[in-house]
Amino acid sequence: MLTTGLIPHAILGLAAVLAMLLAPRARPDMVRGVAAFGLALAALAVLGRMAAPAAPAPPLFVDDGLARVGTLLASLSGLAVLGFLRSRASAREGPALVCIVALGAAALASAAHVASLFLGLEIVSLALIGLFALPLTRASLEAGYKYLLPGAAGSAALLLGAALGYADTGQLDFTAWSGGTRLAALGTALLLVGLAFKLSLVPFHLWAPDIYDGAPTAAAALAGTAAKVAVVIAVLRVDAAAPAGPVWSTGLAALALASILLGNLAALRQPSLARMIGYSSVAHSGYIAAMIVCGASAAPMTILFYLAAYVPAVLAALCVAGSLGAPATNDSLRGLAWRRPLAGGVLALALVSLAGLPVAMGFLAKLFLLEALVRSGAWLLLGAVVIGSGLGLFVYFRFFTALFARDGEASFPALHRPDRAVLLGCGGLLLLLGLYPAPLIDYLLRAVG
């Protein structure tokens, strides 16, 4: 029997099946419309019961605020990605694969067991590989392989870690790694490696910039938003269920430290907007991992707000990158704000938000991050965040100033109507919730309270 908490999952699954059945015969706009309707309906189903009491769920899943927010962000990310998913880059199967990614992300955000954790990760990964490779160009096929091979290594590490946890405790829920033995410590280390691959934490991050640069921008946006949100929520659940032993806490802190510094340093050298966003995503994964180390699993609203600020900024930046019809570089973007005010203005706002500057949502998200580090006394991580944020300012400022340069000579294609809708939605959220964040904070507090 279908429980109330799994209705959004069922809607996403049904939308994926219908889009796949229609793909060979129906018009592309009809297939895209069916997928969009399913994603929007799933988001509305979550919104309708965000503050409702938890409903009974199967043993492998949980129906709580984290699951609902994760499902909501995954559905909205998929809906936005459909807006700039080009038919020539996704074939007819693209909309169905977007729904499958959203379904896998929703399952991962709701996972309460190793089996559902692994199932959600693999659904997301396999559907993303299809989206990466569908253009069948050299760059897209390379991106697919580079996502497949590290993903397989991460999944293998996670499964081996689960096996060792089961051998030690006889459990396969998230308390499997709660034992204090050496076997449990080794299982925890392998679990951390597997999740670090999925979250693109240093040194398991090398696939991320290549994916953002070589894959279709819509597919990269989905990997950087829906998939990242779901993995972060899964890490939060593991952190809350298992005791913070030295292997988990020290290892996660080291990964966060390395990701913040190396991600921002590598982003400094990137002329490509997509590749810069790829390295920037590594740094932001480090910021999120630092918040988890500081005990944010006990107060997840701060991380959920950070994710809510991060998702529209990445979607807007990659939507602009994909709309130009040519690789978006620091030079090719010169003068964009004057020739295409909507694209240039929203991209500028997204860069401001990613940098954590006032007006945009990212400013308050960065304040939450700094507050968590100060409260927990994590001074080394605080120093890394301050240095990384300073480097990030320079990274984003290079592209920001190029947008308003007067000497740009490039001509920019007109935006498609779906692109304009995505940019208006993302820009409006970044600005309105940056100036008046109280409704979102209250909403998240009710969801996880």
Asked whether 353 and 434 are in contact (CB, 8 A), the reply is yes
Asked whether 225 and 82 are in contact (CB, 8 A), the reply is no
Bridge partners (DSSP) listed for residue 173: 113
Residue range of the domain that includes 379: 253-449
178 located within any domain: no
381 located within any domain: yes
Report pLDDT digits (tens) over 80-135: 999 888 766 556 788 999 999 999 999 999 998 889 999 999 999 999 999 998 88
Number of structural domains in the chain: 1
How confident is the model at residue 139, as a pLDDT? 84
431 located within any domain: yes
Distances (CA, A) of 51 to 40, 55, 65, 363, 444: 19, 11, 8, 26, 9
How confident is the model at residue 1, as a pLDDT? 47
Stronger pLDDT, 224 or 87, i.e. the higher one: 224
- Is the pLDDT confidence value at 5 over 80? no
d(CA 441, CA 316): 22
- Is the pLDDT confidence value at 74 over 90? yes
Asked whether 78 and 102 are in contact (CB, 8 A), the reply is yes
316 located within any domain: yes
383 located within any domain: yes
d(CA 181, CA 236): 23
Please tell me which of 40-54, 187-201, 232-246 the model is most confident about, judged by mean pLDDT. 187-201
pLDDT band at 342 (very low <50, low <70, confident <90, very high): very high
- Is the pLDDT confidence value at 410 over 70? no
Distances (CA, A) of 114 to 102, 243, 268, 281: 19, 17, 38, 26
Residue 19, both tokens: 């889009």
How confident is the model at residue 289, as a pLDDT? 93
287 located within any domain: yes
Q: Cα 130–136–137 angle (5° rounding)? A: 130
pTM as predicted: 0.94
Three-state SS at 368 = helix
Report pLDDT digits (tens) over 12-33: 999 999 999 998 888 888 999 9
